[in-house]
A and B are shown apart, each in its own frame.
Chain A
Amino acid sequence: MSREVELHQIAHARAGDKGDRLNVAVIAYCAADWEIICAEVTKERVGALLAERRPTAIQRYELPNLHGLNFVIDGVLDGGVNQSLNLDGHGKSLSFRILEMRIPVPADWTYTKEEKTG
């Protein structure tokens, strides 16, 4: 039997922008969760979270040394910071939109803060 946690429980993330292109790095807190993140945080699921913004292209890059994924997402910033009417024209908040993703984890998965801050 499995259950779900928010991606925010097992990964941290940072957003950056250039023009109308957003990148979001998603990084595992623990090496043990890297495989789950690789399997679950697909570009299709990222695209679904941002569907209202109609992304035109999504690329996913794996950085196993850093236990990180880098998503490069085009067309979701309403033209970018100099053209958007959004208070968040940079898309800086969208890292936390991605971290809302629900991730299935094994029933015996436990959250240990020591591992995160260690």
Chain B
Amino acid sequence: MGEVLRIGCGAGFAGDRLDAAVPVVRELVEAGGPACLIFEMLAERTLALAQLGRRNGGTGFDAHLLARLEPVLADCLSNDIRIVGNFGAADPAGAAAAIAALARKLGTRTPRIAVVSGDDLLEGGSRSGLRECLAAALPDGVEPMAANAYLGAAEIAAALKSGADIVVTGRVADPALALGPLVAHYDWCFDDCDRIAAGTLAGHLLECGAQVTGGYFADPGFKDVPDLSQIGFPVAEISADGSLVMTKPAGTGGAVNAQTVKEQILYEIHDPAAYLTPDVVLDLTQVEVEEVGPDRVAVRGARGRERPETLKATICYLGGHLGEAEISYAGPNALARARLALGMVVPRLPEGLTWRGDFIGATSIFGDDGNQHLATTPSGARDVRLRLALQGADEDVVEVGLHEFGALYTCGPAGGAGLRTSRRPRFHTASAFVPRDLVAPRWNWSET
């Protein structure tokens, strides 16, 4: 397929394996052509947690960033493998400075680090129209903790074309992490909708890491995946015309086949004819996959239409407190004892809480918060862990509810064991669609 740009993925979410990028970079170095490494580390509420960390005197970016980069940074810099990641979270400039310090510690050449900003819609006071746009998406009187627009690929591409070795972003659309390097490398125009669509599909397939190489997939006897403990993260090979082959590093576990790729094509897709991104409306309805070699799948047929007029933004706000409590009952009549325990705690819960019960071992996740599953749980389970989840606006009230649960040790049914309780604040999220002229994406060189 001629010269390709190889894009590898080193992380598909904030909690991903810390050493995932190592085999990917080894593969990119051995392949020898132009290459890029991307990290996707921002879930919907990650930015709210980062803002909270920053307010509490910690860092506003992902604490694992340096552990992920340390084993691959020197190889990337010495082999001209560009790095693009949204690991800047709520403080891209701070993350860039930390990467520069890591490079000094490792004794690499000085990297040229670019910072993409403008996603933070709360920075620099309110712009006319913006505050109203965000407020309309929130319940009355609620103050946003974080509000970030999903930026497109243009600033990433511009920074790379200017010679950036590393691009640190906050919130960008996940596929933009791969589309930016493609636009920079091949000089694609943003109005070339089918190529932008092909690059967006490549990014969509890469951005969840191992989810396209056999992760979130295995089903023994039906979908068997070799050596999951050493699962390889994905590498996409993309040509100038947008042709795409998905693969993974040699010698790693996992699998890239038609099934793994089909599942990820449709992951978190709503209307497959209109997947909205900042850079293009992606149409997946003509996409085809073909296995073209061991762990190699060609993906063709992405189509694009002109990008949407608005940018999506995720807004996070404080959402009260979640309390969780569990206690186990085992042996004869275990489910009946767990049911008795739940039935005696619920009437003692203070006002102002909503609750959900589960009989783990008989039912733990298929039921809904309406608790109808409690009545229909089949009897007979002989090792049951009762779970009670509580939600309330006031942490003290949640604590009172948890305390009532704790009293099951001495007041509750026979043989209750292994009681645990925990409580944490929650963030709720809302989506807004912001006119582009109210968002000012930009990039600059890191000053350190």
Binding site for B on A (CB under 8 A): 8, 12-14, 16-19, 21, 23, 25, 27, 29, 52-54, 59, 61, 63, 65-68, 70, 72, 76, 78, 80-88, 92-94, 97, 113, 116-117
Contacts and interface: CB of A to CB of B under 8 A. Distances in A.
B368 A82 contact: no
Given A19-B431, A66-B266, A67-B262, 7 more contacts: A12-B222, A14-B216, A27-B262, A61-B272, A82-B45, A83-B391, A83-B428
A23 B266 contact: yes
Nearest to B285: A63
Give the 3 A-B residue pairs with the shortest CB-CB distance, closest first. A16-B268, A25-B266, A88-B365
Contact of B286 (A18, A65, A113): A65
B354 A17 contact: no
Contact of B356 (A17, A66, A70, A86): A86
Contact of A52 (B45, B285, B286, B368): B368
A82 B427 CA distance: 6
Interface string B17-59: 0000000000000000000000000001100000000000000
Interface of B: 44-45, 216-217, 219, 221-224, 259, 262-273, 284-289, 301, 319, 322, 354-356, 358, 364-370, 372-373, 387, 389-391, 426-429, 431
B259 A12 contact: yes
B227 to A, nearest CB: 16
Contacts of A53: 368, 370
Contacts, number: 123
Counting chain A CB atoms within 10 Å of each CB, which of B216, B265, B370 scores highest?
B265
21 contacts: A12-B219, A14-B267, A16-B268, A18-B270, A23-B269, A25-B263, A25-B266, A25-B269, A29-B259, A52-B370, A52-B372, A59-B270, A65-B288, A66-B266, A66-B289, A72-B270, A78-B369, A85-B390, A87-B358, A87-B365, A117-B224
A23 B273 CA distance: 15
Contact of A82 (B222, B319, B356): B319
Contacts of A27: 259, 262-263, 266
B129 to A, nearest CB: 24
Given A23-B268, A78-B368, A85-B354, A66 B262 contact: yes
Nearest to B373: A52
